Amino acid sequence: MLKKIVCVAIPGMAPFEFGVICEVFGIDRSAHGGPVFDFHVVTAVPGALRTKIGFDIVVRDDLTAAADADLIAIPAYEAGSEIHPDVLRVVREAEARGAWVLSVCSGAFILGAAGILDGRRSTTHWMYADALAESYPNTTVDPDVLFVDDRHVVTGAGTAAGIDAALHVVRRELGAAAANVIARRMVVPPQRDGGQSQFIQAPIPEQRSDSFATITDWMLQSLNQDLTVDQLARRALMSPRTFARRFRAELGTTPTAWLNRQRLIMAQQLLEQTDDTLDLIAAQTGFGAASVMRHHFVRSLQTTPTAYRRTFGARRPAPDNQVPVVGDSGSPGWDYGVVARNTSPEPAKVTVPSSGVM
């Protein structure tokens, strides 16, 4: 069970990516039905750490708390900076005992230096992908995806993709409802799949049409129907070829993959929140038959609907007004799925308490 989370603060780290880890795991959301984590911020040499932006964060705890953590999280940092050997040791020990290890953006370089990316797939911000592949040739770097989960080692792409990677870990361990509570509090989509592209292929037009917002809203309300690209294109008043091309350019994935992800999310929530039969849930979500739904669960979640319900159903009551809607989502599959430079002559100091963040 995912309970104890340790974020390792690194000299030169990026405040946003550090904040992402703190926001997902460091806040008590039990009043809204969300999880409560035993969250710690630690560092190799306690004291003031200069961030990449130029201000200091004061971290009081050393690496002791990392010894039995369920998840070690590494934020982005000034790539190329020297890393304390005890940080690398903590990462290796976590991977060896089967704990989760999560990196955000350039934090993947620390995982590479620790040797735990060898023989695994990985990602980082697309600007750093070539450097990661060159520095650690024993990992297969995918520069186009939001995050990669390869046997409990999760590497996230740049900046906001760290949210997707962190929510992915929560969803894997605690279920869709728990991840959705966190996402709703953060006002972000509860699931963008790892396989979604890191960047939109086409530039956003100055006066963007709401055609895809309208059609995706309708798709979400019509998941139980057998929707084809031809039907969707007619509704959007486009040719099928134009619709498919523009959908991928704007949402980072194909219409079919997007639909399958929404259906899978809704099926997860129904398994957690209802006692409906598998056949009924398959019909409600557009999979048609329980066997088809099972295929998608095994392919995307590496588990069956029955096993998923057994793990998450009985003890994951749905929060009030839970909405099974995702704004942007990618293709199925758990495995898929630059910070500004600035300086300050008089750095501010933010103190991090021993049990979390302010």
Reported as a single tens digit per residue, the pLDDT across 275-327 is 999 999 999 999 999 999 999 988 887 788 998 888 777 554 444 444 333 33
On average, the pLDDT of the chain sits at: 82
50 exposure class (CB count in 10 Å sphere: 0-12, 13-18, 19+) = middle
- What are the tokens at 247? 């959908």
| 342 pLDDT more than 50 | no
pLDDT digits (tens, 9 = 90+) for 236-264: 899 999 999 988 888 778 899 889 988 98
25-42 per-residue burial string, b: 16 or more CB within 10 A, e: under 16: bbbebeeebbbebebbbb
pLDDT digits (tens, 9 = 90+) for 48-61: 999 999 999 999 99
CA dihedral (85, 87, 93, 95) positive or negative: negative
| 62 pLDDT more than 90 | yes
pLDDT digits (tens, 9 = 90+) for 23-57: 999 999 998 888 999 999 999 999 999 999 999 99
- In this predicted structure, what is the pLDDT of residue 343? 31
pLDDT band at 200 (very low <50, low <70, confident <90, very high): very low
- In this predicted structure, what is the pLDDT of residue 204? 40
| Domains of the chain (ranges, CATH numbers) | 4-189+341-352 (3.40.50.880), 211-251+253-312 (1.10.10.60)
- In this predicted structure, what is the pLDDT of residue 177? 84
Q: With 0.95 as the threshold, say if the pTM is over it.
A: no
